[in-house]
């Protein structure tokens, strides 16, 4: 029964998000609703999914499903999260040629863009609170690492792998290995 719940949960995530980072709040809600993992566990899954190659949402589904029910759980979550994408992509691909110059379609896209940005901001705020506010106080060294990495990405054009490695090294320096 848990596999079916996992599959259905990720079908809901797939049908109610626009992929990638916009899936995070929906996945988080499903994981917490079913008590499959804690907020800290989910934060760790986000970090692992970001570091591994492949689509972010698919990586999150794989790791979350495996956390819940091993390899079979990972497969159920992946199939669930992919089902809506494949279904909707086939429908959109069939209709896009007919609608690409339609004013209503252009207005729909105009409305969807700020919604996606709002969802990303909500995810960023949620992750900042869970990662930088530890034991009822702000982690000054964590905030420093975050701001430094943001600077290196935006101003110095560092790649994600370089930022992850530098963050890990600074984390070891500030927090120790254990």
Burial label for 65, CB within 10 Å (0-12, 13-18, 19+), is: buried
Which stretches of the chain are assigned E, i.e. beta strand? 133-134, 137-138
pLDDT for the residue 149: 95
What number is the average pLDDT over the span 154-164?
93
What is the mean pLDDT of the segment spanning 53-76? 88
> Which residues, 6+ apart, have CB-to-CB distance to 69 below 8 Å?
2, 3, 6, 76
Alpha-helical regions (H) of the chain: 2-16, 24-33, 39-51, 56-99, 103-132, 140-154, 160-175
Averaged pLDDT for residues 72-89? 89
Per-residue pLDDT of 87-140, as tens digits, reads 878 887 888 778 878 888 888 878 988 998 999 999 889 888 888 888 888 889
Res 165: pLDDT: 93
Residue 109, pLDDT score = 79
Closest CA to 153 of 56, 26, 50, 55: 50
Q: What is the mean pLDDT of the chain?
A: 87
**What does the pLDDT read at residue 177?**
67
Contact 42, 35 (CB under 8 A): no
Higher pLDDT, 178 or 169: 169
pLDDT tens for residues 4-57? 999 999 898 888 876 677 788 888 888 889 998 888 888 888 888 888 888 888
pLDDT at 3 over 80: yes
160 sits in the region (left: phi over 0; alpha: psi -120 to 50; else beta) called alpha
Dihedral (CA of 168, 172, 175, 178) sign: positive
The DSSP output letter for 19 is: S
């Amino acid at each position: 029964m848990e596999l079916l719940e996992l599959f259905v949960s990720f079908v809901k995530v797939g049908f109610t998000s626009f992929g990638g980072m916009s899936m995070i709040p929906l996945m988080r809600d499903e994981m917490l609703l079913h008590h499959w993992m804690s907020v800290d566990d989910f934060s760790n899954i986000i970090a692992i999914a970001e570091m591994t190659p492949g689509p972010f949402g698919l990586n999150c589904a794989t790791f979350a499903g495996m956390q819940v029910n091993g390899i079979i759980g990972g497969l159920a979550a992946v199939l669930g999260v992919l089902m809506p994408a494949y279904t909707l992509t086939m429908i959109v691909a069939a209709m896009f040629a007919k609608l690409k110059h339609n004013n209503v379609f252009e207005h729909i896209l105009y409305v969807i863009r700020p919604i996606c940005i709002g969802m990303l901001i909500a995810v960023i705020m949620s992750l900042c609170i869970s990662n930088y506010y530890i034991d009822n106080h702000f982690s000054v060294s964590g905030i420093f690492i975050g701001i430094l990495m943001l600077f290196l990405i935006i101003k110095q054009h560092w790649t994600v792998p370089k930022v992850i490695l530098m963050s890990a090294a600074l984390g070891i320096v500030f927090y120790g290995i254990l």
